[in-house]
Structure 1
Amino acid sequence: MVSPVAKQTWAISAVLINMMAQGLMLSYPSSLLPGIRAPDSDIKVDLNTASWLGSVVGLSSIPGFFISSILMDWRGRKMAQAIVIIPGILGWLFIYLGASVTSLIIGRLLTGFTGGASVCLGAVIVGEYSSPKNRGTYLNLKTASVCVGGMMIHILGNFFHWRTVALLSLFPYIISLAIIYTWPESPAWLVSRKEFEKSKKAFYWLRGHSEEAEKELYELIRAQKNKPADIKNSNFKEKFIEFLKKFTRKDFVKPVVIIMFSRLLLETCGRHIFPAYALQIIGEVTGNKSQSFYYTLALDIIITTSATFSSVLVKICKRRTLLFVSGFSALFILFSVCTYLYLASKAIISNNYTWIPISLFVLYFILANLGCTPIPLALLGEVLPLAHRGSGSAVAGIVMSLTMMVALQITPYLLESVKVYGTFAVFGSAMGLTLVVFYFILPETKDRTLQEIEDYFNYGRFKNEENLREEEEDVKMKMII
């Protein structure tokens, strides 16, 4: 008999492999750009074109977020996840076969579309397919998977041509598609469609029949029974008006604001800019670009290990505690390394001790990947109420796309003008501001069911357990699960 945890892990492994593919996509500029800017490259690009090849994925991820949000509400989580993978496969083929800058840009646009579509959709799937006790671990493993993908690109890019790297990047998508075929549909989505019997069957397949699982299923169905079914036959105008009305509802606005700040924190802590420009950053810090690969690989291993360790910590520590302790500690280390690099650049202190900034960067990325990276990515799978997961994901996607595109676009210019210390000082300042805002608006979600979190945004507090039991007994007299 296969345990519920094993079934959850099997289903969610498709999302984790897909997130590893996103790590390949995000870090691919570290392989692509040096290759096409080399003197013997058959495709010639200038700095401006190179920056666009690195950042254009942020632009194409905007329609990815929109399409995935529509698909997840219209066709369900399973079908949506399968569909959005197809452009990514085509994108890597465009890059592998491309003979011009246009082909490369099309390929990056398509892979960026899949990357954007997978972020929100993957978080929603993990949140709905996993139990509350395991949800935090699975959501944090999404971050570790992205880190694994980034590390793989840096290794492959050192030994293989950028075209070969693009071809190898196809395989995670193919494996993910094969696993998705074995999934049941999301119980939460089936409940939202009033398909209660199908929902029970899928829920029991994923969670088993434990007392906690039965209680969670009861609360899920109870909360949705009195709500109107999704609008299926309304026209575009009616749907658009309904979407705009969501901005007057606190259970939509509050989670979206939290997600918007989580996206800002994710970008400003260097989650995407470092993998994309790792070789250039490390080369400037060490002053020895021939050794950049080995420094980068060491950092990749450390970052991936810390992101994986975060998946263990999240079962022990509260989300807020982990975020603020690791976040403010990381911020202190970041400003310390920026100060050191600035003083070294002005010859106030010796620049011969490259192990000092490298060690500080290692410590920074360890701390940042314990909280500032995984928790913002996890929040998307936790804070959005069931009725708003599609539309909320679309709004969050726009914010993430714009922040990622801006960060990736300005980073090459910041590195050229204000060097590494100035670049990270700019991002660090925004990171600190975001952490302060989070201190006041972020609820604690550890071990809470998605329905409990949804109730929090409706009522402003988590329901008292004693009152919940009394309400449950009262309702059980009127309805049978």
Structure 2
Amino acid sequence: MSFTGILLPQLRKDTYMNVNERMESWIASIGGISLFLGALTTTFIMSRFGRRKVNLLCTIIMVVGWLSIILAPDINTILFGRFTQGIALGISSLSASILIGEYCSPKYRGGFLTKVSLTISIGSLISHTLGSFLSWRSTAAICLGITFIDLILIYISPESPMFLATRGKYNECKKVFHWLRGLKENEELEAMMNAEISRKETAKPPKTKQFANKISDMIVTMKDPQFFKPLFVMLHLDIVNIWSGGMMMDVYANRIYQKLMGNDTDVASTIITVDCVKIVASLCAVFIHTKFKRRSMLILLVSLNVITYFLIAGSCFLMDKGVILFKNPLIGFLFVNFHAIISAVGAVPLANILAGEILPLRYKAIESMISILFLSVNVTIKMKTLPYLFSYIGLSGAYCFYGLILAYGMIVATVIMPETKGKSLQEIRIEPHIS
């Protein structure tokens, strides 16, 4: 998404491409539409072929997307490239948190899942910095080179021990588990393998079912608290993630920064500064989410995010009404950076962490697919409507609206969500999500 932030300003100046506001909104939002297609594919191939092969597929698709953008002769090819990258994003948004959650010790899982947000922040900084000095095609070419490095790293990585256990490859499962975590967590390894052995022993042989029986089984599944309660929490964490504002600041930085700091603002320098701040914040998040409980941090940090939305909305409203007669670039700069810090420390990493923790293995594939569908709908709606909201109700109205949505998602998620810090995935799954 951060590449869009440097792509759109350059396309506006390109008379050959002839990009208008409607086309800009499509470039920004089309990845959200294709994101679901990637997730839909992932649920089937991840269960059948494993996490590692899914990540390899994701990276290959991303390569195709970058090549399409680099070689694009017209705007339609750029849209195809962004659409293709959305598919890859849908795959990785589902598989990455699951793989990290299965790789890591409960002691370090929060920190490693938080590093997903850190790497996103680093990627944003690289993309924005390159885009400030190079053309969008040259920036895309360098991003393609980084994607090839990702492909090599994924190729030499092992398969998830949990997936190996589901395939009955217990010796290989032990070998990978010990390689990843050492010999100190054999209790979790034994619990994981015993649970899988027990599941296979009690599983009934597959048989052909009538359509009515399949519908009946589906209804029973949907009534299972271990299905709908984690899913309900995850959907509201998706709301917290998307509506916290991080993605919005990446894509529409020009409009937001000029509104808050004035039309004379050096947007390129501000974007790079904010990206550096987000990296520092993401590093702090690794420590914070390793040490402190998830629910407490969700309440504290997302509440600060909501307050920041309302403060920015209030200041913009007063400026629009003439109560504040001048724009103070320093105050606007502080608002922008505080918003970036709170989003990078709170909503975004917590959503990634909990996505890898709260979904039970039995329903993980289908629940992950539903979650990504909901996520993609939110991304598309937000990115498609944002320029129109800015035009019709202003930044103050848009930020008030986003603050209310974010507050709703946080309240519902924290009321229902169990504490997961320091617990194995087995322990989290067998606990009731609401007593």
TM-score when normalising by structure 2: 0.94
Task: Indicate which of 30, 34, 41 corresponds to 1:67.
Answer: 41
Give the aligned partner of residue 285 of structure 1: 260
Distance 1:35 1:320, change over 3 A: same
Contiguous gaps of at least 5 residues in structure 2: none
Output the CA distance in 2 between the equivalents of 1:373 and 1:234.
43
CA RMSD of aligned residues (A): 2.2
How much has 1:373 moved relative to structure 2? 1.5
Give the aligned partner of residue 318 of structure 1: 293
Output the CA distance in 1 between the equivalents of 2:50 and 2:209.
19
Count residues in correspondence. 432
Are 1:125 and 2:99 counterparts?
yes
How much has 1:56 moved relative to structure 2? 0.2
Output the CA distance in 1 between the equivalents of 2:369 and 2:206.
21
Are 1:81 and 2:81 counterparts?
no
The 8 Å contact of residues 62 and 85 in structure 2, kept in 1 or not, is answered as: yes
Task: Indicate which of 175, 198, 206 corresponds to 2:172.
Answer: 198
The 8 Å contact of residues 322 and 370 in structure 1, kept in 2 or not, is answered as: no
Output the CA distance in 2 between the equivalents of 1:203 and 1:237.
41
Task: Indicate which of 363, 366, 377 corresponds to 2:341.
Answer: 366
Output the CA distance in 2 between the equivalents of 1:431 and 1:129.
31
Which is bigger in relative contact order (C-alpha 8 A, separation at least 6)? 2
Distance 1:282 1:411, change over 3 A: same
1:28 maps to amino acid: F
Deviations 1:279-316 (A, max 9, x none): 22102222225511122222221122112211111111
Task: Indicate which of 150, 160, 171 corresponds to 2:145.
Answer: 171
Deviations 1:229-286 (A, max 9, x none): 8999888998986666532322121111111001111111112111111122102222
Output the CA distance in 1 between the equivalents of 2:205 and 2:116.
32
Deviations 1:61-112 (A, max 9, x none): 1110111121110101111111121111101111110111211111000011
Deviations 1:152-183 (A, max 9, x none): 22111111111111111112321111112222
Task: Indicate which of 270, 286, 293 corresponds to 2:245.
Answer: 270
The 8 Å contact of residues 330 and 368 in structure 1, kept in 2 or not, is answered as: yes
Give the aligned partner of residue 188 of structure 2: 216
Distance 1:218 1:28, change over 3 A: same
The 8 Å contact of residues 123 and 380 in structure 1, kept in 2 or not, is answered as: yes
Output the CA distance in 2 between the equivalents of 1:110 and 1:401.
14
After the TM superposition, which residues 323-338 of structure 1 pair with which residues of structure 2 at under 5 Å, given as runs?
323-338=298-313
Give the aligned partner of residue 474 of structure 1: none
Task: Indicate which of 35, 40, 44 corresponds to 2:18.
Answer: 44
The 8 Å contact of residues 60 and 151 in structure 2, kept in 1 or not, is answered as: no
The 8 Å contact of residues 237 and 410 in structure 2, kept in 1 or not, is answered as: no
Distance 1:190 1:280, change over 3 A: same
Output the CA distance in 2 between the equivalents of 1:289 and 1:300.
20
How much has 1:418 moved relative to structure 2? 2.2
Are 1:113 and 2:72 counterparts?
no
Output the CA distance in 1 between the equivalents of 2:214 and 2:56.
26
- Structure 1 residue ranges, 4+ long, deviating more than 6 angstroms after superposition: 229-240
Which 10-residue stretch deviates more, 195-204 or 336-345? 195-204
2:88 maps to amino acid: T
Are 1:350 and 2:325 counterparts?
yes
Distance 1:146 1:237, change over 3 A: farther
Contiguous gaps of at least 5 residues in structure 1: 1-25, 462-481
Query: Secondary structure of 1:226's match?
Result: helix
Which 10-residue stretch deviates more, 393-402 or 416-425? 416-425
The 8 Å contact of residues 64 and 84 in structure 2, kept in 1 or not, is answered as: yes
Give the aligned partner of residue 199 of structure 2: 227
Query: Secondary structure of 1:185's match?
Result: coil
The 8 Å contact of residues 35 and 41 in structure 1, kept in 2 or not, is answered as: no
Give the aligned partner of residue 31 of structure 2: 57
Query: Secondary structure of 2:347's match?
Result: coil
